[in-house]
Amino acid sequence: MMALSSEKTSFQVSRKLFSKNKSIQRAIEAAPVGSTIEIGPGIYKEDIVIDKYIELIGVGDKEKIVIQGIKSSSLTMKNGYAVIRNMTIKQPKENGLDRGMDTVYIENGTLLLESCRIEAGKGPGITIDGATAEPIIRHCEIKSYKNSAILNKGTGNIIFDHCHFSSAAKSSPVIHILEGNPVFKRCSVVGADSKSCGLYIESKGKGKFEECNIYGFDHEAAIYIKGTSPTFNRCKIHDGKHCAIVIRKGKGVFKGCSIFSFEKDAPAIRISNGSSPFFQDCTVRNCKGGGFIFEEDSGGLLDKCNLFGFINQPAIRIFEGANPSVLHTKIHDGNVEGVVSTSDGKGMLRDCELYSFNSHVVAVTNGAQLDVLNCKIYKGNAHGIYFSQKTKGMVQDTQLSEFPNAAAIHVSKAAEPSIYSCQVFDSLKGVQVNEHGRGKFERCVFWDIEKEVWDISESDPDIYLCKEMNKEKGRYELSDSATGDALLLSNPKVSELFEQVEKQVGQWKVKAKMKEVVHYLDYLQDRKRLGIKTVEELHIHALFLGPSDSGKEKMADLYGQMIHAIELVDSSHLVKITPSDLTNSDPFVMEQMIKQRIEEAYGGVLFLDQIHLLAPEQLAHALLPSLYQIVNHLVPETAVIIAGPVEAVQEWLEKFQDLKQHFVNEFIFEEYTPEDMVSLFLEVVKENEYQIHETCMSVLLKEMHHLWNIDDEKSCVERVKEYFKIVQMVQSRRCLKLPKEQRTKEALTMIMPEDLTWKTEKEVQPGDQDWVKELEKVYSKTKKEDTNE
């Protein structure tokens, strides 16, 4: 063992013939803590282990200062703090054989590795392991020929800065993050020689990438995210023949990134298997295989992005129940469609600008549903919006123009969109509806249409209050569309009420049926008013059948107001009677109560909820005689609405055939869907003076699907209200941790995605038995622990 004075803090190691110190490891063992060891050119075949504060500095050309291990990793960092600068570290070999060991293994301590070159063979270039490894790696070039350049299993503070990573492996990614949250700043990840992906980030890993350059991956995705949520800020991901980004069961945040120049074999970004990433201020351009694919119930949010230059595929494709939201985004300049939702895809475009496509700008086909809100859509060689093959969707407050070869809006093959308050101009045709197309057009305005505004064949769309601006004597004048709705044009009150009906959550079949019934009643009323003989009776009574808490009472109120507006009843007031209102044990008092309540309804609407549960004596002595008086017009004209479960009410009516014949209008209410439950939740949020952040929508929809699938007797409304209470609790607990200066009104009322999902040790979820009590226990326990800390 060489004898080094403890007073020396700097000395040299060299492979020269007459050098006193030829072994780096022996120098480390003998050197005092804090020493600097200068290493001259040469190949140092030894296993370097560092367990204290030491500095190893290469002097000269780093390509000629080589450390190569023999039996273990070439460099192992076990403890302490160390600096290694300006040298090459190669894969260890024993008797010339590469046994696949790590070239650099960091298990503990802080290693500053700077301006070095790491070359690996069968093993990883650098492996980081454990919770206490906290390396800082700067200006290094790390390459593995048959494995990953970086294998990260460490969970400490790990930083890579200005590094260059590459690999020629067939199956290993260039950077593999199994665990931990390492930070990469201004790094390059190059795939020129790789047969695998660039970054592979698994469920326990994350990673933060800032201003990195990731490019050249032709065989696998440049970035593959599985079950986790890394962050990418201002990164460039470009030039590959495979995808730029693939996300499965994951999330991920991408801000200010630029994604470009990918070939036609795959989309730039594929989001699948329930993933929900967030892209903001990103540019996706010049990708022949299209921009985004959302599939397999995935979601996500695109905000303030710019998508353009797509040759072979659309900018965005949505399939298989996927439901992304695209906000404040420009989508333009493509050779095919701009946005396609098909095969049960969903989604929303809001405040977007879409233009300059050689095919349809927006296409919704094959059972899909896409909402387009407050957008500008223009400059296309085909249709602006194309709905076909049993599709749905809402298009509202949207401007469509400059479609010289086709109608701005096309609807066909049982498609049924709702088009509200849109402006359509400077196009060959306004709207084309054919091949049994359906849908509703309301309050739309058309001008500068070269041919017909409405091209309708073999179809029956509903058209209300639409206008055409005709150029007369050099100026525009509004006129009603030729297919305008007579009732809505002549009765603004009914038009207003229909708008309120449309705003109710869900129940599309009930809404359509109500319009049909009210229009027909108005038609019969007109015949009666004009003295035309009419054998058919005006059937104003109705059955509202379906599950509880499905909006029946509100719809009954609106129905009453509409039949009052067309003068079928004298008043719009509604009186409700339920079995719970009739609990007096005295039969005489009970009878008088029923009669009094029914008389209060005269001239308006009598809403009978769950009356099939009344005892026979209650029916016989009070209710049935009064109902027969109403249906036989022996009292002021009154509309009776009977509500309750479908089979129970129908079975009950079978016993009273004379009564049943007056209830020909059946409105069948359905249980709310998960999408409806989202709307219900938003209403509860508004009622309680909270706000919900726009990034919450995909997370919220998943939670509503979970609530909806729970098998219990609670209604969807009850589940949503209980869920909101827990969200309030989680949100308030998060806000408790905010500093005083950050507790603004917006912060204290804003619901964020992390408030919507929560887990406990027992994995309690909404709808589980006693779930509220269980979460309150967990909340109290956690709050107590926070207080103790």
CA angle 408, 411, 417 (to 5 degrees): 100
Most confident of 382-396, 660-674, 751-765: 382-396
pLDDT band at 57 (very low <50, low <70, confident <90, very high): very high
Three-state secondary-structure class, residue 736: helix
- 195: number of Cβ within 10 Å: 15
Contacts of 428 (CB under 8 A, 6+ apart): 403, 404, 405, 406, 407, 449, 450, 451
Q: Is the pLDDT of residue 762 over 60?
A: no
Asked if 709 and 671 count as a contact pair (C-beta separation under 8 A), the reply is: no
Asked if 256 and 232 count as a contact pair (C-beta separation under 8 A), the reply is: no
Distance between CA atoms of 688 and 548, rounded to whole angstroms?
23
What type of residue sits at position 231? Answer: T
Asked if 231 and 199 count as a contact pair (C-beta separation under 8 A), the reply is: no
- Tell me the average pLDDT across 374-400: 96
**Domains of the chain, start order:** 360-484 (no CATH), 493-668 (3.40.50.300), 677-685+703-788 (no CATH)
Number of helices (H), then strands (E), belonging to the chain: the values are 16, 63
| pLDDT at position 585 | 62
Beta strand pairing call for 440-442 and 462-464: parallel
Share of the chain above pLDDT 90, in %: 62
Contacts of 11 (CB under 8 A, 6+ apart): 4, 21, 27, 31, 35, 37, 38
What type of residue sits at position 395? Answer: V
| Total-model pTM | 0.70
- Dig out the tokens for 427 from the structure: 């196009």
Three-state secondary-structure class, residue 279: strand
pLDDT tens for each residue of 739-750: 888 889 988 999
pLDDT band at 489 (very low <50, low <70, confident <90, very high): low
HEC profile of 591-653: HHHHHHHHHHHCCCEEEEECHHHCCHHHHHHHHHHHHHHHHCCCCCCCEEEEEECHHHHHHHH
Per-position DSSP letters for 378-404, written without gaps between them: EEESS-SEEEESS-B-EEES-EEEEEE
Contacts of 358 (CB under 8 A, 6+ apart): 334, 335, 336, 380, 381, 382
- Average pLDDT of the residues of the chain: 88
Distance between CA atoms of 495 and 115, rounded to whole angstroms?
74
Three-state secondary-structure class, residue 698: helix
pLDDT tens for each residue of 123-181: 999 999 989 999 999 999 999 999 999 999 999 999 999 999 999 999 999 999 999 99
